[in-house]
Structure formats: C-alpha cells, structure tokens
C-alpha cells in the first residue's frame, strides 16, 4: 500500500467517486421514471406483461460489455454510452418490481377504494402506488447496488468512475495494487452507503409497514 499515492491523489479519487455515483444513480432515476408507467400498464393489462417481461429479460441477458461496444458505434465515447445500458438493466429489474408492487395491493383494499368512490387515477395515486412502495424500493435497492458494481466496466471506455482505478491507474501501471484496493474499497463502501440510505428512505416513506 502506498499511502503517499492516496494522499497526493485525493482530488482525482474524489472526482472518480463523484463520476461513479453519477453514472450509477442517473440510470436508476431514469429506469424508475420509465418502469413506473410500464409496470402500471403491465399490472393492469396482464397480456402485455409476458412480452414486456420477455423483452426486458433478453436485454438483461446481453453481456454488458457487448452492449457498450455496440453503443460506441451509435453514441460514441460519451457518458451516455454507459448510462443507456445501465438504464436498460435497471428497467428490467424495476418493471418486475413495479408489477409485483401493484399486485401486492390486497384485493379488498382495491375493492374498498373503488366502492367508496375513488376514480381510477385517484385510486392509483392515493392508494395503489403508496401500497406498492415497499416492493418498488426493494427493486431500486437491487438496481442501485448492481449498477454501482457494473459502472466499473465502463472504465474500458474511459467512463467507469472508480473503475478507472482498476484499469488506467492499476493494471496499466504495472498492477499498482494501491489504486486497485482503493477502487474496490470505495466501490463497496459506496454500495453499502447507498443501500443504507435507501433503507432509511423506505422507513421514512412507509411508517405503516409491519417490521
């Protein structure tokens, strides 16, 4: 371990950490924005769900590296080349969880809401979505943690956040282990911190859930 290197490269490590966070969180937000309407529609029209699920599963099965390389041809060497695949992966996790969340609303609850005079939109916003939160947040946690680990692959394109510590500063510099260790430790720490934050958020949003 070269503590000197760490000390002198603080700003670099910080900016890589920032990039890592950006590259893993933005796809989660985009994925959620897309997955919510898709999932809601799939939960309502069951026939759509099968094909949608198949499509997202196929996306999920494509090796990420292949997708990155394929996208370079379209989007070039930019942030988006990393953001798009991660968004697609997030989507395949979240659509499933949004549908499960909507299905977790007990039938009597839905029936009571309708019977008391909730229209479809009001019922969705005031009853079904709030009740679906625990399962949706569970999906967001999985997607966030898996994105944080997957961002590193982007380092092969030069956009990999902490992954750069493995490639540019590690392997390419004669297996400079300090950089590699710093990269691993910070990636794991980031994942743990993000997950803890989401657990906290869930407790805040669902004081009503038995635990």
Partner 1 sequence: MITFEHVTKRYPDGTVAVEDLDLVCPTGQITVFVGPSGCGKTTSLRMINRLLEPTSGRVLVDGEDIRQRNAAELRRGMGYVIQQAGLFPHRTVLDNVATVPLLLGTPKREARRRAAEQLERVGLPAALEKRYPYQLSGGQQQRVGVARALAADPPIMLMDEPFSAVDPVVRGELQQEFLRLQDDIGKTIVFVTHDVDEAVKLGDQIAVFATGGHLVQVDTPERLLAAPADDFVASFLGGDRGIRRLTFLASDRVGLDSADVVERPEALGPLREAGRRWALLVDADRCPVAWVPTDSGGDGRPVERTFNPAADSLRVALDSALLSPAGRGVGVDDDGRVLGTAAHADILRAVTDEVARTGRPRAGALS
Give me the 77-106 binding string for partner 1, x by CB under 8 A, dash otherwise: -----------------------------x
Count of positions on this chain that bind partner 1 (CB under 8 A): 22
Q: Could you say whether residue 47 binds partner 1 (CB under 8 A)?
A: no
In whole angstroms, how close is the CB of 210 to partner 1 at the nearest point? 5
Q: What is the 3-state secondary structure (H, E, C) of the chain?
A: CCHHHHHHCHHHHHHHHHHHHHHHHHHHHHHHHHHHHHHHHHHHCHHHHHHHHHHHHHHHHCCHHHHHHHHHHHHCCCHHHHHHHHHHHHHHHHHHHHHHHHHCCCHHHHHHHHHHCCCHHHHHHHHHHHHHHHHHHHHHHHHHHHHHHHHHHHHHHCCCHHHHHCCCCCHHHCCCHHHHHHHHHHHHHHHHHHHHHHHHHHHHHCCCCCC
In whole angstroms, how close is the CB of 121 to partner 1 at the nearest point? 11
Q: Could you say whether residue 115 binds partner 1 (CB under 8 A)?
A: yes
Region of 32-40, 116-124, 146-154, 194-202 interacting with partner 1 (CB under 8 A)? 116-124
Q: Could you say whether residue 113 binds partner 1 (CB under 8 A)?
A: yes
Of 10, 117, 174, 204, the one binding partner 1 by CB under 8 A: 117
Give me the 124-143 binding string for partner 1, x by CB under 8 A, dash otherwise: ---x--xx-x----------
- Nearest-angstrom CA–CA distance, 191 and 187: 6
Region of 5-13, 46-54, 61-69, 119-127 interacting with partner 1 (CB under 8 A)? 119-127
Q: Which is nearer to partner 1, 64 or 206 (CB)?
A: 206
- Nearest-angstrom CA–CA distance, 79 and 160: 9
Q: Could you say whether residue 112 binds partner 1 (CB under 8 A)?
A: yes
In the complex, the residues that contact partner 1 under the rule CB under 8 A are: 106, 108-109, 111-119, 122, 127, 130-131, 133, 206-210
């Amino acid at each position: 371990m070269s503590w000197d290197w760490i000390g002198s490269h603080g700003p670099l490590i910080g900016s890589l950490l920032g990039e890592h966070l950006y590259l893993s969180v933005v796809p989660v937000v985009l994925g959620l924005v897309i997955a919510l309407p898709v999932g809601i529609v799939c939960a309502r029209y069951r026939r759509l769900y099968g094909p949608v699920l198949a499509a997202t599963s196929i996306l999920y099965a494509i090796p990420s590296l292949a997708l990155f390389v394929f996208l370079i041809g379209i989007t070039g060497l930019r942030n988006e080349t990393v953001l798009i695949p991660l968004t697609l992966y997030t989507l395949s996790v979240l659509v499933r969880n949004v549908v499960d969340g909507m299905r977790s609303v007990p039938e009597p609850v839905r029936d009571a809401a309708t019977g008391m005079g909730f229209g479809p939109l009001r019922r969705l916003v005031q009853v079904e979505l709030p009740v679906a939160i625990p399962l949706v947040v569970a999906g967001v946690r999985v997607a966030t943690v898996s994105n944080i680990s997957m961002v590193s692959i982007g380092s092969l394109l030069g956009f990999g956040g902490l992954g750069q510590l493995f490639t540019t500063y590690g392997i390419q510099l004669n297996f400079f282990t300090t950089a590699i260790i710093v990269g691993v430790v910070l990636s794991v720490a980031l994942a743990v911190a993000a997950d803890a934050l989401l657990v906290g958020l869930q407790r805040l949003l669902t004081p009503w859930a038995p635990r």
